[in-house]
Amino acid sequence: MILVSGATGGIGGETCRILQQRGVPFRAMCRKQEQVDSLHGRGIDAVIGDFDRPDTLPAAMRGIDTMFLITVTILALSVIARTVIKPQRAR
């Protein structure tokens, strides 16, 4: 399954539209509950995930094997490495 960060922005939104149109399984990651609710209303699997709130990432990334990352900062990569990648390697 693909996780699309920035799903409510221009590039992320278009990515979600194309994936949905093609029937590709994906999950949209949003920072606000209203965004999640709006995407759910369009039949899109959406979850809360915010790089500024690392505690939201493990649940957002559960079952994900590919990530479409729109904007990345060193901080975001550090958070992903600490909260998702290292715990999965320990399994």
CATH at 41: 3.40.50.720
Count how many domains the chain has. Answer: 1
> What residue type is 36 in one-letter code?
V
DSSP secondary structure code for residue 55 in this structure: G
Strand order in the sheet with 26-30: 46-48, 26-30, 2-4, 66-68
Residue-wise pLDDT tens digits, 23-53: 999 999 999 999 999 999 999 999 999 988 9
Q: Confidence class of residue 91 from pLDDT cuts 50, 70 and 90? A: low
79 compared with 42, residue with greater pLDDT: 42
Structural domain that includes position 26:
2-89
Query: What pLDDT is recorded for position 84?
Result: 62
List, in sequence order, every beta strand (DSSP E) within the chain.
2-4, 26-30, 46-48, 66-68
